Structure 1
Amino acid sequence: MKIRIDEIIDQPKLLVFEELAESFPTLQELTDAGECEFLRPIAAELSVWREYDHIRVQGSLATTVRVNCSRCLSGFDSDLRSAFTMIYLKRKQELQDEDEVELGEEDLVSVVYEGDEIDFAPEIAEQVIMELPLKPLCRENCLGLCATCGTDLNAGECGCERGSFNIKFAALKNLKVEK
């Protein structure tokens, strides 16, 4: 997942690799915390070339993860795919003393590198994390769990009475106001 700077030319160079999620410390932390389980290695393709004063990388990645539904808590598999562009800029030794700087498109997708090689691992892990669903759903019409008994309502009714009671106001149910 590394490339030497002197190997990068004006023509795109294709890098293809597959790495286990354990190779990326931040992804291993997600697995250890129980956020998700990686079922396949992370497959990545990167086109790398020199462009003006920077290095441009266009890439894509794919993997499959097992996550838990945020409504019914059942595990399901989800395919993650991402296409991205990164611009690598060499770190400048002197800091420019400017009060206001307007960020351009390149500033929003740029990474600073030092030395004679670039390691793509941190940006690959970042792209995987950005593709993970914030609120995963096993299906769009998932019914979730019964608020009373905890039964999975996708499997069938539980028999509990569900009126128009809003659980958000349960603490106020027995509140009495004296006038």
Structure 2
Amino acid sequence: MKIYIEDIPDEGLTIKVDSDSDKWLQNLLEDCVEGNFAKKDKAEVCVTVINCEGNLDLRGDIAIFTHPVCDRCLEIYKDKKNIEFHVFMAPLKGKGKDKFRENDEKELIKEDLDFGFYEGDHIDLSEIVKEQLVLERPIKKICKEDCAGICQKCGCNLNKEKCSCKQEQYDPRWDALKG
């Protein structure tokens, strides 16, 4: 979804989209959320863009409801995320270009990570939303903090039932440390 810089009024521009009515958002989520976003799942994006002499201030919120598979017990669970973001964007060429020289070496601070550049007469909202979704992607998807997972021998879900497998306490790999 392209936002043209010249179309942003002085008071700012607020854009609200949802996955039901905006196909680009549905396609983006199917790609970004690693197969955990189905057609029945919902997402809403609200972004306010303020143009300050070519420099853009974007503040937004992404609400996403998914049904991922738990990495421990392999059960599907409901997940709701609310991602708030704040991004500053400056033109790569034109106004403000002298402020940000390519050869300048500076140490990055946290605020620098919420900064980007745009080229041309527009920004692509889908790229900004995609970046925020990727940054918030969990390393492991866990249904609950105390998820017990599955039994390594019989494969039963230990959250639902106790397995009758004999649990071996002895591990021969530790014999070398006994002395």
The normalised TM-score by structure 2 is: 0.78
Corresponding residue number in structure 2 for 1:84: 85
Query: Which SS does the other structure have where 2:30 is aligned?
Result: helix
Quote the sequence identity (%).
Answer: 28
Instruction: Mark the runs of 5 or more structure 2 residues left unpaired by the alignment.
Output: none
In the alignment, the residues of structure 2 paired with residue 60 and residue 6 of structure 1 have an alpha-carbon distance, to the nearest angstrom, of: 23
Corresponding residue number in structure 2 for 1:12: 12
In the alignment, the residues of structure 2 paired with residue 30 and residue 106 of structure 1 have an alpha-carbon distance, to the nearest angstrom, of: 24
1:23 and 2:27 matched:
yes
User: What's the CA shift for 1:165?
Assistant: 4.3
The answer to whether the Cα contact below 8 Å between 1:54 and 1:90 also exists between their aligned partners in 2 is yes
Root-mean-square deviation over aligned CA pairs: 2.9
User: Which deviates the most, 132-141 or 109-118?
Assistant: 132-141
More strand by share: 1
Question: Which residue of 144, 149, 154 maps to 2:154?
Answer: 149
In the alignment, the residues of structure 2 paired with residue 121 and residue 40 of structure 1 have an alpha-carbon distance, to the nearest angstrom, of: 18
1:113-132 alpha-carbon deviations (Å, 9 max, x no partner): 11111111011122223333
Give the 3 Å change call, closer, same or farther, for CA 22–158 of structure 1 in structure 2. Answer: same
1:45 and 2:71 matched:
no
Give the 3 Å change call, closer, same or farther, for CA 152–81 of structure 1 in structure 2. Answer: same
Corresponding residue number in structure 2 for 1:125: 130
In the alignment, the residues of structure 2 paired with residue 57 and residue 146 of structure 1 have an alpha-carbon distance, to the nearest angstrom, of: 47
In the alignment, the residues of structure 1 paired with residue 41 and residue 52 of structure 2 have an alpha-carbon distance, to the nearest angstrom, of: 33
User: What's the CA shift for 1:148?
Assistant: 1.5
Aligned amino acid, residue 3 of structure 2: I
Give the 3 Å change call, closer, same or farther, for CA 97–73 of structure 1 in structure 2. Answer: closer
1:110 and 2:112 matched:
no
The normalised TM-score by structure 1 is: 0.78
In the alignment of these two chains, the number of paired residues is 169
The answer to whether the Cα contact below 8 Å between 1:81 and 1:131 also exists between their aligned partners in 2 is no
In the alignment, the residues of structure 2 paired with residue 83 and residue 108 of structure 1 have an alpha-carbon distance, to the nearest angstrom, of: 14
The answer to whether the Cα contact below 8 Å between 1:80 and 1:131 also exists between their aligned partners in 2 is no
Superposed structure 1 runs of 4+ greater than 4 Å apart: none
The answer to whether the Cα contact below 8 Å between 2:41 and 2:67 also exists between their aligned partners in 1 is no
